Amino acid sequence: MKKCLILGGGFAGLTSAVYLSKAGFKVEIIEASPKLGGRAYSLTDTETNTRVDNGQHILMGCYKETLRFFELINATQNLEFQKKLKVNFVKEGFKIIPLEAADIFYPLNLIIGVLNYKALSLAERLKLLLFFLKLFFVTEKDLRGFSVHKWLELEKQTENLRKAFWEILCVGALNTSIRKASAVTFADILKKIFLRGNSSATIVLPKEDLSETYCNDSQKYIEEKGGEIFYSERIEELIFKSDKLVKIKTSQREISDFDFVISAMPLYSLEKVVNNINTITKLQLTYSSILSIHIWLYENKLKRTFYGLINSKVHWIFNHDSHLTLVISDANDLIELSKEELFEIAVEELNKYLSISRHEIRNYKILKEKRATFIPSNDIIGNRPLPITNFKNFFLAGDWIETGLPSTIESAVFSGRIAAELILSNQRHN
């Protein structure tokens, strides 16, 4: 039985492990932290005894790779699927403005949904529909070198249209501003969401915390196939000789009895353990932060599952009944603020948008993910590394390698499957 070591137990590493386990490989995951999940993990808030996520992670119907992975580990029942797109946007004063697909066939259901989106004037709604019509014919060549902001300017999307639709969508999908994000990357995402059928545009939410949603079922699948997971074991050095990886030094041992290795570590972690990272990739990334502010109320009167806030410092609010999760994406300008300062921002926005005052809040917890995602700017297009490397037994997985997708769960899962299939292909040809 061939043996593959997988360095990292986030979405990418778990996906590789599951596919290789299914194919009969002996799999060992080495995870630096005491838990699975990478940057998509859960923890217990000791003051409230509540399970919380380090950030609200949503899926979409267009996440075909991720949904296939959930099906493989028998975890699809852990997800809640919309039957049609519906997002409750909120303006100041708790004014809810839904963007909701109609109960008819695609794409007319989305067209009617846009036409009924009252956060925009009728003229702006027509401009938005024209934009989507033109999207069918837009190519990478048309947008090369453009930021999302420049593209929207050229398409005469008004300031209100940008604030009430495009900025929310761009920051939510790419975790960066319309001025930094590549128009090419954003166009690809828009096509996957809106131009591939009704289900692609729907939102999929975890029913429970992330550990219950996918970590536990992944672990069960891997271990039932004979795989092992080693926690709290930090990779310290990867040693290469000629065209192979020959030894791995960890905080606990040295390992050389393997046939293949997949690094599912973030680039910034991989750089620390490879003496000459240029032998693997010359990619340099800049990162964008995400802030999650968990709020416990004395009484939660909110009825809807989630809200998108228009022109607010807080982008999304998710209702977990036991608590609320406020998400601030593209948060580099706020990430260094104290927890007290961030709480004040949360209180102000909750009061302004959902009429929740300070005296209704009984507790809060703030989680900072400083390097949540890389910024999908124009200068990284074409520079992300492939999963195959110059070393014949060493492969890469992670949302940062070349998948054609931004830094998303879907990208991580896709990369994990591709790395696994490259190893399986290697076996078939040897």
pLDDT digits (tens, 9 = 90+) for 54-78: 888 889 999 999 999 999 999 999 9
- Dist. CA 230–CA 288, nearest whole Å: 29
Structure tokens at 143: 């947008």
Task: Note whether residue 71 is domain-resident.
Answer: no
Confidence (pLDDT) at 430: 64
Task: Note whether residue 87 is domain-resident.
Answer: no
Domain with 410 in it: 3-41+208-282+378-428
184 shares its domain with 109: yes
278 shares its domain with 395: yes
How many distinct helices (H) and strands (E) make up the chain? 14, 20
Backbone φ and ψ for 324, nearest 5 degrees, come out as -105, 150
Confidence (pLDDT) at 429: 64
Confidence (pLDDT) at 401: 96
Render the burial of 329-353: b for 16+ CB within 10 Å, e for the rest: bbbeeebebeeeebbebbbebbebb
Q: Is the pLDDT of residue 427 over 90?
A: no
302 shares its domain with 153: no
pLDDT digits (tens, 9 = 90+) for 129-148: 999 999 999 999 999 999 99
Neighbours of 166 (CB within 10 A): 21
pLDDT digits (tens, 9 = 90+) for 87-118: 999 999 999 999 999 999 999 999 999 999 99
Neighbours of 125 (CB within 10 A): 19
368 shares its domain with 224: no
Confidence (pLDDT) at 218: 98
As a whole-number percent, the residues of the chain with pLDDT over 90 amount to 96
386 shares its domain with 273: yes
- In SS3 terms, 100-162 reads as ECCCCCCCHHHHHHHHCCCCCCHHHHHHHHHHHHHHCCCCHHHHCCCEHHHHHHHCCCCHHHH
Residues 6+ apart with CB under 8 A from 381: 182, 184, 185
Confidence (pLDDT) at 124: 97
Domain boundary among 152, 175, 201: 201
Residues in the chain: 430
Maximum Cα interatomic distance, the chain, rounded to a whole number of Å:
68
Nearest to 201 by CA among 132, 140, 154: 132
Question: How wide is the angle at C-alpha 334 spanned by C-alphas 328 and 335, nearest 5°?
Answer: 90
pLDDT digits (tens, 9 = 90+) for 364-394: 999 999 999 999 999 999 899 999 999 999 9
- Dist. CA 268–CA 275, nearest whole Å: 13
Nearest to 10 by CA among 424, 389, 383, 371: 371
Task: Note whether residue 26 is domain-resident.
Answer: yes
Task: Note whether residue 392 is domain-resident.
Answer: yes
In this prediction, residues 345-359 reach a mean pLDDT of: 98
Question: How wide is the angle at C-alpha 87 spanned by C-alphas 82 and 92, nearest 5°?
Answer: 155
pLDDT digits (tens, 9 = 90+) for 188-236: 999 999 999 999 999 999 999 988 999 999 999 999 999 999 999 999 9
Neighbours of 282 (CB within 10 A): 9
In this prediction, residues 330-348 reach a mean pLDDT of: 98
Question: What's the whole-model pTM score?
Answer: 0.96
255 shares its domain with 363: no
Number of domains into which the chain is organized: 3
256: domain CATH number is 3.50.50.60
Q: Is the pLDDT of residue 345 over 80?
A: yes
